[in-house]
Structure 1
Amino acid sequence: MDHKNDKKRWSTNEGQKVGHWLSIELDKPKLVNGINMNHGRSKNDYAPKYKIETSLNGKDWQSVGEFKGTAKLSIARFKDTEAKFIRLSILEKKGGYWSIHELDITGKEKTQKTVSSL
């Protein structure tokens, strides 16, 4: 995360709901092991509890875990998993939107798909 563009963001544009989700497609299958979500200026627009799932085809999903969100920066770490698709879903809501200013996907490979300004 470079925190250079804190003015753009992805948002639900409505109050959080259990089941809201965000899906990311990587350019090819990669070995991934974490997600960093920067909530930037929207530091209170985080999901207090969310799950991460991965898929190789966008249809068959495997859970890699449930995680707690925090204000400003939510960090999730899980065991190395091969994925082409990653889905984040809200399990517990709080008031406000769900906003992400930057999202980094971590893994073993040097060429990572970094999504900013979703």
Structure 2
Amino acid sequence: MFKRAWQGMRGFVEKNWKAICVLLILVLFVLIAQRIGLDKKVIVVTVLFFGYVTQLFAILVALIAAIPIIGPPIASIISLPFFFIVNAIAYIVTFFSLRKGHAKDVLSSRVLVTTLLVGIIIGYALGKLM
């Protein structure tokens, strides 16, 4: 059982090695950019652009789905409820932030959340089309 699962993972990695490298590079970019204090908007735009170009979000879900037995349920759990959870958390934070008087911060955080969700949807849809 494990031999067949390992061969499936190995085939997936061989097929998508470029996307996995891009994922690792983006993770390193985000960590280094946060460490040196790069503007968050630049980080978000860069990650969304490379995620869009390389179909990284769809491949990331496929990588999770390639894990034997537990992967497919996790991938289906991540896909749709992820959007609901992120949006719900953003609304809750918005509610409490507005009550405390942080209206300017609320606007920027809502723009970032919306950009993230739209970028993931576009990347996933284009990844399925191509």
Same-fold call, TM cutoff 0.5: no
Indicate the TM-score class for this superposition, using the shorter chain for normalisation. under 0.3
**TM-score, normalization: structure 2?**
0.19
**TM-score, normalization: structure 1?**
0.21
Higher percent of residues as strand = 1
